[in-house]
Structure 1
Amino acid sequence: MSDIIAADQLRLLIERIERLEEEKKGIADDIKDVYGEAKSTGFDVKTIRSIVRLRKMEKHHREEAEALLETYKQALGLD
Structure 2
Amino acid sequence: MSDIVAGDQLRAFIERIERLEEEKKVISDDIKDVYSEAKGNGFDVKILRKVVSLRKKQPHEREEEEAVLDLYLQALGMLAGGVSSEA
Question: C-alpha separation between the residues in 2 aligned to 1:15 and 1:34?
Answer: 29
Residue 55 (str. 1) matches residue 79 (str. 2): no
Which residues in structure 2 correspond to 1:24-43 (within 5 Å)? 24-43=24-43
CA distance in 2 between partners of 1:37 and 1:5 (Å): 48
Write 1 or 2 for the structure with the bigger share of helix.
Answer: 1
Aligned length, in residue pairs: 79
1:73 to partner: Cα distance: 1.5
Structure 1 spans left out of the alignment, 5+ residues: none
Aligned to 2:83: none
* Residue matched to 1:21: 21
The CA deviation at 1:76 is 1.7
Alignment correspondent of 1:70: 70
Which contiguous aligned blocks of 4+ residues in structure 1 show a shift greater than 3 angstroms? Answer: none
RMSD: 0.8
Identity %: 68
TM-score, normalization: structure 1? 0.94
Measured after TM superposition, the shift of residue 17 of structure 1 is 0.1
Structure 2: runs of 5 or more not aligned = 80-87
The structure number with the bigger radius of gyration is 2
